[in-house]
Amino acid sequence: MPTEVGAQNWLVVGLGNPGLEYAKTRHNLGFMLVDMLAQRWQTRVTRDESRSLIGRAEFDRQVIELVKPQTYMNLSGEAVSGLLTKDNRDVTKLIVISDDLALPFGTMRIRPKGTHGGQNGLRSIIDCLKTQEFIRLRIGIHPEHPIRDAARFVLENFSKGELEAVEKILETAADAIETIIRDGAEAAMARYN
């Protein structure tokens, strides 16, 4: 049974770039996690709204809308701000998932608010919403070796070896999203950061 009428829906937004050529790139971890959650919660992310693809699911008696903005990473805020104009959506129940080049590969950071940290999708959302007060889950993509061209690196496909690890990382991140929804961001931070 979903939450009562008038309750706010959760908006779980995975950042990435649309198109098959970007599907398995490092910059698309947000999309990949939304796809995994959709599979876990038995829904499809196909409805078109506010320059995004959306799927609706229920978890822990709450309504969750899974979102993949189709604006490309650097304009993610335009899609997210458009989605938040509906009465049953509010920034207090917004979770944004992004890759993070500042974090070592496979590590995860959950924060209830904060800066963009150089991530252009988060920067766009903060600029468009005029607030940093939303939950974010960042997944590290920095390799053990130095990177010469960060812009190129984030748009490269994961290596075969990395892809095997990515599946496990995404499973853990999906558990973290469920913990945020069920128990709150602080509980998820204590368990997964």
What is the distance between the alpha carbons of residues 154 and 158, in angstroms, rounded to a whole number?
9
The full set of domain ranges for the chain reads 9-192
For residue 76, give the nearest of 15, 139, 118 by alpha carbon: 15
pLDDT digits (tens, 9 = 90+) for 31-78: 999 999 999 999 999 999 999 999 999 999 999 999 999 999 999 999
pLDDT digits (tens, 9 = 90+) for 70-85: 999 999 999 999 999 9
Contact assessment for residue 13 and residue 45, using Cβ atoms and an 8 Å cutoff: no
Helix, strand, coil shares of the chain as percentages rounded to 5? 40, 30, 30
- Is the Cα torsion angle 178, 4, 45, 103 positive or negative in sign? negative
Which residue in the list 27, 116, 142, 145 is annotated as catalytic?
A: 27
CATH topology of domain 9-192: Rossmann fold (3.40.50)
pTM of structure: 0.94
Give SS3 for 44.
Answer: coil
Q: What single DSSP character describes residue 74?
A: G
Instruction: Answer yes or no: 145 catalytic.
Output: no
In this prediction, residue 3 carries a pLDDT of 45
